[in-house]
Amino acid sequence: MSLPASAQFETMPEIIGPDHSQLIAVSLVEVDQRGRLHIPVRIADRVSWLKAKSAPTTALAVSDESGRVSLLNWENEGLQVLKRCEELNGMIAINEAPIDDLVALITRYRLLSIPKDLRPTLGNEILLNLGLPIGATSRLYVVGGPDRIILLTHSLLVDLWKTTTSVFAGLP
């Protein structure tokens, strides 16, 4: 079931600091049946390598844990991953590294194309790592910060609330 057009890109209420700005923004977005989502402009504007892009760009998608994927600057982070992949390929070729090391590496990291309309298609691997259904509409939280975008499922967000209890000390 799709969200109504008026609620498709729901903005989470923000608590603004005394300087009227925040380093991060959070939005609840819909992932369509093709695995495509829309990164809200207010999220993209908080990410140094993504804001004011008028052309497609590339991100390094990192499956941090089940229910969480970080999108990092490919130019800064992706080349390191490619280099490590080449190193492991060479070591495996001469039996100095187990194949499992390379499997772990290539399944944790993905190249993700972000079109200029900010509507990337996540792909089955990323959807699976997020725990989202393939071929069905779903929702997730998109967090924009200075150097990354974080994709979070609701269940992981609830876990975050439970494990970061010190920030809630003295609050209702």
Question: How far is the C-alpha of 5 from the C-alpha of 123, rounded, in Å?
Answer: 24
pLDDT band at 119 (very low <50, low <70, confident <90, very high): very high
Q: pLDDT of 39-69, one tens digit each?
A: 999 899 899 998 877 789 999 999 999 999 9
> Which domains are delineated in the chain?
5-13+20-168 (3.40.1550.20)
Q: Using an 8 Å Cβ cutoff, are 149 and 59 in contact?
A: yes
Query: What are phi and psi for residue 97, nearest 5 degrees?
Result: -145, 145
**What pLDDT, on the 0 to 100 scale, is given for residue 96?**
80
Q: Which of 49, 27, 48, 46 is nearest to 38 (CA)?
A: 27
**Per-residue pLDDT tens digits for 55-113:** 899 999 999 999 999 999 999 999 999 999 999 988 888 888 788 888 999 999 999 99
Q: Which tokens hold the place of 154?
A: 């609701």
Instruction: Give the residue among 157, 137, 131 at the shortest CA–CA distance from 35.
Output: 137
* Span of 4-8, 16-20, 34-38, 127-131 with lowest mean pLDDT: 4-8
Tokens in use for 20?
């009227």
Q: Residue 18 burial (CB < 10 Å; 0-12/13-18/19+)? A: exposed
E strands, 43-147, are 57-65, 68-73, 109-114, 138-144
